[in-house]
Structure formats: C-alpha cells, structure tokens
Structure 1
C-alpha cells in the first residue's frame, strides 16, 4: 500500500483516508499496524468491487444509516465496510482468510 503523509488530505480532525488503495495520512499522525490492517481490508473491498462501486455503495449506505440513526458518527460505524474492517483489524492474517464480499454479511445486522 502506498502511504503519503501530508498536511492537506485528509481534512483536519481525521487521521487518514484511503483513496483507490493509496493511503493519505495527516502529517503528525502515527499509524499503528492495526490502522494499516484496517485500511488494507478497505483496499481489498475496493478491489473486489472495482473501486468506484465501493465508494458509491459506501456513501449510499452511510446516507441510509444517517437517515435511520440521525447521527453521522453512529451511521459511519455501522456501515458494512467499516464493520468488517473494525471487526478484523486486529487479525494480521485476516486478508489471507477473508472470503470475497465478506463485508455484505453484516449489511443489515
């Protein structure tokens, strides 16, 4: 994974953002192995969905959850892509064990 440390991307208050498998990290932030695992899971999700559909589904699911929950932070944490990444970020072997499209197992749970 390519990692770019900079002052502009992501916006202030955010540690990093994964854009098409390139990780942009806010200058001054420290990334742990758990953080890298989390982002690597997102990269796997992006690849299997051919990148653009990943972003479309991610935003659409966030909007639906935002309407239902009325809380942007809670909506973010229950997006199926995030749930898979958070649930497995501590497992360094997860990507070798992961089944394709695994994020959709928790779509409506």
Structure 2
C-alpha cells in the first residue's frame, strides 16, 4: 500500500499537458468546427473538465490521462473539420474545371 501511495505521489503535476490540451481546444474552437465535430469537442471538453478536477484532487496520473485523451479528441475534431473543408474545396475546384472544359469545348 505504501508503494501505491508513493507511486501516486511521484507523478508530477500535468501542467504542460493541461496547457497543450487547452491550446488544442482553443485552436479547434477558432476554426469554427461544424456540427459533425461538435460531439467530439463535447467529449474533449468533458474530459478536460474531469482532468482539471483530478488535478485539483492531486490525482496527477488520472489528470494527465484525461488531458491527453481530451487533446486527442480535440485534434481528431480538428482533422475531421479540415478534411470536410478540403473536400468542399476539391468539389468547388472540380466544378470550375468542368465549367472551363465546357467553355473550351464551345469554342
């Protein structure tokens, strides 16, 4: 039991991970994620809140784990959002190319 308590006490505060997580979530919010990514951001925010509570309770290992998961959820939401935007841009470019082909064919 003493080993278990000393193991918990040896985990440093996840200050840097909490900062990285908050930074990732801020970046994703700034992108204006769509409805499809809102669920992932909700998960990220929930995990981050739980990480903050664990850190306040000095459960550093749990706080770090939750903060890492929250960061990954936020990064996934960001990647999905960027993927959707890229697909929309590709569709628009294909439309423009088709229109140019029609114009060239009419000459």
Q: TM-score, normalised by structure 2?
A: 0.27
Structure with larger Rg: 2
Greater relative contact order (Cα < 8 A, sep 6+): 2
Higher strand content, 1 or 2: 1
Higher helix content, 1 or 2: 2
Q: TM-score, normalised by structure 1?
A: 0.27
